[in-house]
Chains A and B, each alone.
Chain A
């Protein structure tokens, strides 16, 4: 049985996505614990330079082909499955993301390999590799052993610091031919569409007043806007608010929105599900207000209160105005 760990590198338009480094940090620990090698699997076209920050891995397996220049589920699934079939690594780590989740199950069914989803941490106990996954909006944890001999794992951020998985200097890059034919693909990339321009870039703001379901009505947004304006920041939001159309997607914080690194992140009526929490991991100071004392947001926040956010906002705004006036 192999002791090797693979990490499938995620890239988007010439950049390595941060989840890759989380996986490399996790993979490094797993490979070391098992006494095996950590290999980064990179698909692309003329993409060798992208290997330059994958130094945490022992080696890079690189497949170069026009059909995998950009991510498409069909081409990536065939390629990764083809590579894994021959080598049967102990574990293949993919992102629990728009890319990883498209292909993990397909690879699993093709190879007869189990899939573990939403994994946050991996470690080795008594020689056995183990996983801890999040489920039910982050309210429940599940753990167990990685099935033998091979297992696919989709990983969520948060269990590791991405910088622990990032190291300059490409390890040994082995270029291999695509293991399967890449013609007659059922999914092709037509093109990319940029997000709406002309609105605020929340990733550049240092103070964010972020609203979630707890804001209850569109009418109440102005309470958050007043607070944000008083603090010199802007309003951002979690998925439910954007889905209702109360704020544009450019304001969305989280897995399908933006990762923000403000000095202050006010989570107002946000429960803190993993998809949202992903976007605020680098916030310097998170203050969460939610009437549910069990809301997962309080696991990420430095400060919290269970008062009614609709009552707090005007009072807080008024007191800040006063404090600034002095």
Chain B
């Protein structure tokens, strides 16, 4: 792994104070009982020499250099499991882990793939390093065009925030096209920002880049401010999380929903359109970012949508709702698979796939743009190609609507 040393180390007592002050209620860190619940629930806890409990102990003992040297703070995928179970309600993910990752960035201890993703975001407004002009290209071949806000001739009801991977990644572009067809089937007045859309900034924030997040928030906030709309709907759980919980602090507050909430509200209009049977056993994977993260707690709406699809049998996996298994993509994890593999020799995404297969699922339903490619990769790397299909709820709904001319 390529790392470069840069700034001078900063660990002294003031660093402990900085961690305490890093987020609201951060000083709850002082209440840590060293019970180890965080370590037990952490998906990579077994591979860490310093799992969350030990990190806090090291902080208190003012013995932090070895932790930075081991670089294993990057094993944290910001899944919020630790935060959810902590009996002292310490904001571990937003506070401790994020601040530690910032420190790693300041020390120049960044795995090269993550560095590239952050630099791409800075330069192009997306982590993939794609041209901003091509951000709406996924929609260019659709028979019914997707309106771009800057060119809209009428007021728009819903501003659909698409996101990086959903705009540029070939597998996830299919989900975007499915979502467009659902909006159109429901005759929703919607539009996208297109080239004016920048990454929402949540995973960059969780990877320690608060400054980059604030820059992106300013860009997106100003873009939103140019238009009139009633609410923002997003297919990206990380965008939902950060719009709801962080953008107001940056000066931009607006009504926001995850698409599953938006569609669940319109279930009565949606149901008659779901004409085509989807006879599958489907297990639903709860994304961390709309679920246990920050108590966003969107659990039932996605299930309502799935149950409304004729023929579909919804089964539950043992790790569901607040207890979900992270796909491994958060907090920088999406670019750290090599780093994680060298240390953990397991993938949380494979763990989840195994659980789905053991539960008897034919389809693993997801609602997050990282999850479709990550779980499909896991199915392949486990040698189960064809054994489990991964589909976004939007794709399953679009299949059920299945108009003759549906693109995607």
Residues of A within 8 A of B (CB): 216-220, 244-246, 291, 308, 314
B337 touches A219 (CB 8 A): yes
A217, B2: Cβ atoms closer than 8 Å:
no
Q: B338 and A244: CB pair below 8 A?
A: no
Given contacts A245-B112, A291-B170, could you give 16 more A-B pairs where the C-beta distance is less than 8 Å?
A216-B113, A217-B113, A217-B335, A218-B1, A218-B112, A218-B113, A218-B338, A219-B337, A219-B338, A219-B341, A220-B338, A244-B2, A245-B1, A308-B170, A314-B380, A314-B381
Q: Which of B2, B335, B337, B338 has the most CB of A within 10 A?
A: B338
B147 → A minimal CB distance (Å): 27
Complex Cα spacing A245 to B335, Å: 16
Going nearest first, the 8 A-B pairs with the smallest beta carbon separation are A219-B338, A218-B338, A245-B2, A219-B337, A217-B113, A244-B112, A217-B338, A244-B2
What residues of A have a CB within 8 angstroms of the CB of B170 in the complex? Answer: 291, 308
Pull 10 A–B residue pairs with CB atoms less than 8 Å apart, ordered by A: A217-B113, A218-B338, A219-B337, A219-B338, A220-B338, A244-B112, A245-B2, A291-B170, A314-B380, A314-B381
Closest Cβ neighbor of B338 among chain A residues: A219
* Minimum C-beta distance from B343 to chain A (A): 12
Q: Name the residue of chain B whose CB is nearest to the CB of A291.
A: B170
Contact with A along B338-354 (1 / 0, CB 8 A): 11010000000000000
Interface residues of B in 1-59 (CB under 8 A from A): 1-2
> In the assembled complex, how far is the CB of residue B44 from the closest CB belonging to chain A, in whole angstroms?
15
Tell me whether B337 and A217 are in contact (CB under 8 A): yes
**How far apart are the CA atoms of A314 and B380 in the complex, in Å?**
8
Q: Which residues of A contact B338 (CB under 8 A)?
A: 217-220
Q: Which residues of A contact B112 (CB under 8 A)?
A: 218, 244-245
CA distance A217 to B113 in the complex (A): 6
Q: Which residues of A contact B341 (CB under 8 A)?
A: 219
Residue of B nearest to A223 (CB): B381
Within 8 A of A (CB), among B233-275: none
Q: Which bucket holds chain B's interface residue count?
A: 10 to 19
Q: How far is the CA of A220 from the CA of B338 in the complex (A)?
A: 8
Bound Cα distance from A243 to B113, whole angstroms: 12
Closest residue of chain B to A307 (Cβ to Cβ) is B170
Measured between beta carbons, the chain B residues less than 8 angstroms from A219 are 337-339, 341
Please name the residue on chain B nearest to A219 by beta carbon: B338
Closest to A216 in B: B113
The answer for the CA separation of A308 and B339 in the assembled complex, in Å, is 22
Q: Which residues of A contact B335 (CB under 8 A)?
A: 217
| Separation of A218 and B339 alpha carbons in the complex (Å) | 8
**A280 to B338 Cα, complex, angstroms:** 29
Chain B: minimal CB distance from A271 (Å): 12
Q: What's the least CB distance linking A244 to chain B, in Å?
A: 5
- B322-339 with Cβ < 8 A to chain A: 335, 337-339
Collect the chain B residues with CB atoms within 8 Å of residue A217's CB: 113, 335, 337-338
Residue of B nearest to A308 (CB): B170
B340 (CB) vs chain A CBs: closest residue: A219
Shortest beta-carbon distance from A18 to chain B in Å: 32
CB distance from B313 to the nearest CB of A (A): 30
A-contact bits for B350-391, CB 8 A (1 contact / 0 none): 000000000000000000000000000000110000000000
Whole-angstrom CA separation of A104 from B338 in the bound complex: 44
Which residues on the A side are within 8 Å of B339 (C-beta)? Answer: 219
- In the complex, which residue of chain A has the Cβ closest to the Cβ of B129? A213
Q: Bound complex: CA of A222 vs CA of B69, how far in Å? A: 27
What's the least CB distance linking B370 to chain A, in Å? 14
Tell me the smallest distance from the CB of A5 to a CB of chain B, in Å.
42
- Minimum CB–CB distance for A220 against chain B, Å: 8
Which chain B residues border A246 with CB–CB below 8 Å? Answer: 2
Cα distance A216–B338 in the bound complex, in angstroms = 10
CA distance A192 to B1 in the complex (A): 29
The contact string, 1 if C-beta is below 8 Å from chain A, for chain B 123-147, is 0000000000000000000000000
CA distance in complex: A67, B1 (Å): 43
- What is the CB-to-nearest-CB distance from B406 to chain A, in angstroms, rounded to a whole number? 23
Quick one: which of A217, A219, A245, A314 has the most chain B CB within 10 A? A217
Closest to B111 in A: A218
B5 to chain A, nearest CB (A): 14
Task: For B1, list chain A residues within 8 Å (CB).
Answer: 218, 245
Q: Which residues of A contact B380 (CB under 8 A)?
A: 314
| B residues near A314, Cβ cutoff 8 Å | 380-381
By beta carbon, the residue of chain A nearest B337 is A219
A291 CB, nearest partner CB in chain B, Å: 8
From residue A239, how far is it (CB to closest CB) to chain B in Å? 14
With a cutoff of 8 Å between Cβ atoms, the chain B residues found around residue A218 in the complex are 1, 112-113, 338
* A216 partner residues in chain B, CB cutoff 8 A: 113
Minimum C-beta distance from B347 to chain A (A) = 10
Q: Hey, which chain B residues are within 8 Å of A291, CB to CB?
A: 170
> Shortest Cβ distance from A196 into chain B, in angstroms?
17
Complex Cα–Cα for A220 and B337 (A): 9
Using CB atoms, name the residue of chain A closest to B3.
A245
In the complex, what distance in Å separates the CA atom of A245 from the CA atom of B112? 9
Q: How far is the CA of A220 from the CA of B341 in the complex (A)?
A: 11
| Chain B stretch 99-155: residues in CB contact (< 8 A) with chain A | 112-113
In the docked arrangement, what's the CA distance between A291 and B335, Å? 19
Measured in the bound complex, the distance between the Cα atoms of B335 and A217 in whole Å is 7
Residue of B nearest to A306 (CB): B170
Q: B113: which A residues are within 8 A, CB to CB?
A: 216-218
Residues in chain A near residue B337, CB distance under 8 A: 217, 219
B115 CB to nearest A CB, Å: 10
Query: Min CB distance, A265 to chain B, in Å?
Result: 25
Min C-beta distance of A216 to chain B, whole Å:
7
CA distance A294 to B79 in the complex (A): 39
Alpha-carbon distance between A245 and B1 when the two chains are bound, in angstroms: 7
A291–B381 CA distance with the chains assembled, in angstroms: 22
Q: How far is the CB of B151 from chain A (nearest CB, A)?
A: 27
In the complex, which of the residues A218, A245, A291, A314 has the most CB atoms of chain B within 10 Å of its own CB atom?
A218
